[in-house]
Structure 1
Amino acid sequence: MSDPAQLTEEAHAIAEAVARRLDGSGRTVAVAESLTSGSIACQLGAATNAGAWFAGGVIAYATAVKVEVLGVDPGPVVTARCARQMARGVAALTHADFAVSVTGVGGPDPDEGRPPGTVFVAVAGADGEKVAEHHFDGEPADVVQAATTEALRMLLAAVTA
């Protein structure tokens, strides 16, 4: 696992790059977070002029919140399908142009038959949706930080396209 402090610095730098791309563009971004519990929103909210481009988000840790608030289909939630539906749901809820979502297993134990460190990140935008499956090593906090950084990377790629 990478150094957590280095990942935090990298996440901050990526969030600032997102801010530069969106500030003044009239486009907005929203987040739907399960595993990361708001850490993506914290990075975006701390970025320059976030009030102009960060619509907000939903921390949907509980499956019921994913289903009832974000419109995720009942069933397993550590899946690419769930990540896509979370991104779509928060985009619709906030009227954001872009949405990023994360769902996964932080550990230390497996969940839904998936090993700790299994993470699905999805980004939705005008050019469609992308979802990626990742397998991060380390303690739960390490997995959260790695997932946060990767989600921000994917978001930056979407807003840059």
Structure 2
Amino acid sequence: MNLELSDAHQVAESIGEIAAAKGYTIAVAESPTSGSIAMCLGAAEFAAQWFSGGVTAYTPETKYRVRGVTPGRVAIEKAQGVSRLTGADVSVAVTGVGGPETAEGKPARTVFIAVWDGTRARVEEHHFLGAPEAVVEQTVLHALRLLRDALINAADAIPHQTD
């Protein structure tokens, strides 16, 4: 396992500890990472207590059809949508172009990461370097860190989802 993914698994463990302690559930919506964020979260200790699950859609057509989102504000809409779908309190979503070529009007290696906590969204745009595999690894690590930071900074203010 490379260093980026090892770090990602450590961050996922800390996410699990925070979520379990606060009673929050987590969900993910992924495109260029092909389920890698969900894999890290699902491998964390006691994931069944706090990880609601995720949705992975890779092609642009599938992303828009499955999630019902438009190209604008895609990362935020994906995060909000997967929270609604799974009933999760907090969600993280990634979208973009892992590479190696431009797609959907965005340069290769451009990734958007959003976190939704039920009341607020935060989105970041990243331009990573390297081969597509390296872009995926960097995206996973950054997404998990953004999710962890959202839990740390707003853990007491996050509303629990209700049916």
TM-score scaled by length of structure 2: 0.89
Alignment correspondent of 1:103: 95
Match of 1:44 among 41, 46, 52: 41
In the TM superposition, what is the alpha-carbon distance from 1:115 to its structure 2 partner? 1.7
Q: Partners of 1:67 and 1:139 in 2: how far apart?
A: 26
Alignment correspondent of 2:50: 53
Count of residues in correspondence between the two structures? 153
Alignment correspondent of 1:116: 108
Alignment correspondent of 1:134: 126
Alignment correspondent of 1:152: 144
Q: What is the aligned-residue RMSD (CA, Å)?
A: 1.4
- 1:86 maps onto 2:67 in alignment: no
Alignment correspondent of 1:143: 135
Q: Partners of 2:17 and 2:150 in 1: how far apart?
A: 13
> Over residues 61-108 of structure 1, what are the superposed CA-to-partner deviations in whole Å (9 max), with x where a residue is unaligned?
1233322332312xx3xx6x0001100110000010001000011111
* Overall identity of the aligned pairs, in %: 48
In the TM superposition, what is the alpha-carbon distance from 1:113 to its structure 2 partner? 3.0
In the TM superposition, what is the alpha-carbon distance from 1:127 to its structure 2 partner? 4.5
Contact 2:89–2:118 (CA<8 Å) still a contact in 1?
A: yes
Paired AA for residue 27 in structure 2 = A
In the TM superposition, what is the alpha-carbon distance from 1:154 to its structure 2 partner? 0.5
The 5-angstrom pairing of residues 2-81 of structure 1 reads 5-73=2-70, 76=71, 81=73
In the TM superposition, what is the alpha-carbon distance from 1:24 to its structure 2 partner? 4.1
Aligned partner of residue 27 in structure 1, secondary structure: coil
In the TM superposition, what is the alpha-carbon distance from 1:26 to its structure 2 partner? 2.1
Aligned partner of residue 22 in structure 2, secondary structure: coil
> Structure 1: any 5+ residue segments left out of the alignment?
none
Q: Partners of 1:126 and 1:39 in 2: how far apart?
A: 23
TM-score scaled by length of structure 1: 0.90
